[in-house]
């Protein structure tokens, strides 16, 4: 008899006061607090533990002396996913803290939880979309995180680079950034799930995040290989990075406002005490 629970979701974060509350609030409603996990990597802020006190989510504190080591990150996430699948759950969804997963309402009327419950299994590929702040227009205000994100003045665009194999009933042998898997590629099927990537959703938020990140110890391997360079840019370099993201799609696809059906799918979170 299968005694495992239906599904779990998890992320990993280090000092993410802007995105972690949003990530938890969004996924919690579909998985429940007992099945929502945060791997809390040496955070100096109290956000993860405040969220645990408020919602009852599961927080697991981790220590590693480098803040940015993609090798450590990949191994840690893979091992935790395997642990959840082997011991407790039939299906596990992983998403980074600046990624929100939802069902495309143009393709299914099911909620995220309902969709995963009926999903047949293997490894599920989600469909990546960038949420973009057009920094070329000075009249566009900063995101107000107390209001629904997709009702604000932002563009979205499908980005195949963020089609990621994140939902699974079997262990996923991810490569860097969780953008692909290195084995069991025949088990991957595309789902009706959408990944909203928020790194470029708001310039001021990105500036705060990257400024914090510059103060941390980085893996020398990552620095040498240029892995995660977008997380080290501030000032003019960050503005150029935002502009380049807009330019990336110029000429071959269209920037769009979020579909009307999407606008209420990302709700704000109430302030933490």
pLDDT in tens, 176-230: 889 999 887 889 999 999 999 999 999 999 999 999 988 877 777 766 766 777 8
Candidates 175, 107, 164, 106; CA nearest to 130 is 164
User: Both tokens of residue 253?
Assistant: 């696809």
pLDDT in tens, 35-64: 999 999 988 899 999 999 999 999 999 998
259: left (phi over 0), alpha (psi -120 to 50) or beta: beta
Q: In Å, how far are 104, 125, 189, 211 from 160, measured between CA atoms?
A: 16, 11, 15, 28
The helix (H) or strand (E) run that includes residue 60 is strand 58-62
Find out whether 228 and 65 touch, Cβ atoms under 8 Å: no
Secondary structure, 3-state, 169-238: CCCCCECHHHCCECCCHHHEEEEEEEEEECCCCCHHHHHHHHHHHHCCCECHHHHHHCCCHHHCCCHHHH
- Predicted local distance difference test score (pLDDT) of residue 164: 97
pLDDT in tens, 88-110: 999 999 999 999 999 999 899 99
Q: Which residue has the tokens 């469909």?
A: 127
- Predicted local distance difference test score (pLDDT) of residue 273: 61
| DSSP-assigned beta bridge partners for residue 129 | 158, 196
Residues in contact with 18: Cβ distance below 8 Å, sequence separation at least 6, in sequence order: 145, 205, 208, 209
How far is the C-alpha of 34 from the C-alpha of 27, rounded, in Å?
12
- Predicted local distance difference test score (pLDDT) of residue 229: 78
pLDDT in tens, 148-176: 999 999 988 899 999 999 999 999 999 88
Q: C-alpha dihedral over 230, 235, 237, 239, to 10 degrees?
A: 90
- Predicted local distance difference test score (pLDDT) of residue 181: 92
For 46, the 3-state DSSP assignment is coil
- Predicted local distance difference test score (pLDDT) of residue 271: 65
Find out whether 129 and 157 touch, Cβ atoms under 8 Å: yes
- Whole-model pTM? 0.93
> Please, which pLDDT band fits residue 253 given cuts at 50, 70 and 90?
low
- Predicted local distance difference test score (pLDDT) of residue 254: 59
User: Both tokens of residue 247?
Assistant: 């330019």
How far is the C-alpha of 253 from the C-alpha of 92, rounded, in Å?
33
Average pLDDT, the chain: 90
- Predicted local distance difference test score (pLDDT) of residue 266: 87
- Rounded to the nearest 5 percent, the helix, strand and coil shares of the chain are 35, 25, 40
Residue-wise over 148-161: b if at least 16 C-beta within 10 A, else e? bbbebebbbbebee
- Predicted local distance difference test score (pLDDT) of residue 251: 58
């Amino acid at each position: 008899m299968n005694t495992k629970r239906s599904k779990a979701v998890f992320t990993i974060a280090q000092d993410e006061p802007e995105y972690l509350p949003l990530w938890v609030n969004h996924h919690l409603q579909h998985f429940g607090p007992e099945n929502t996990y945060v791997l809390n990597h040496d955070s100096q802020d109290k956000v993860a533990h405040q969220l645990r006190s408020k919602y009852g989510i599961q927080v697991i504190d981790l220590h590693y002396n480098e803040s940015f080591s993609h090798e450590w990150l990949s191994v840690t996430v893979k091992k935790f996913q395997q642990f959840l699948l082997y011991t407790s759950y039939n299906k596990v969804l992983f998403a980074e803290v600046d990624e929100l997963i939802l069902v495309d309402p143009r393709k299914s009327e099911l909620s995220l939880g309902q969709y995963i419950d009926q999903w047949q299994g293997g490894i599920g590929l989600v469909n990546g979309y960038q949420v973009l702040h057009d920094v070329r227009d000075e009249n566009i205000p900063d995101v107000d995180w107390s209001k629904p994100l997709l009702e604000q003045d932002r563009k979205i665009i499908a980005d195949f680079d963020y089609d990621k194999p994140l939902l699974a009933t079997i262990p996923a042998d991810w490569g860097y950034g969780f953008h692909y898997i290195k084995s069991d590629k025949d088990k991957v099927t595309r789902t009706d799930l959408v990944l909203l990537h928020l790194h470029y959703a708001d310039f001021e938020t990105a500036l705060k995040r990257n400024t914090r990140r510059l103060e941390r110890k980085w893996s020398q391997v990552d620095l040498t290989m240029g892995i995660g360079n977008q997380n080290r840019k501030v000032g003019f370099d960050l503005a150029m990075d935002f502009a380049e993201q807009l330019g990336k799609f110029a000429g071959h696809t269209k920037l769009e406002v979020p579909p009307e059906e999407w606008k209420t799918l990302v709700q704000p979170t109430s302030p933490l005490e």
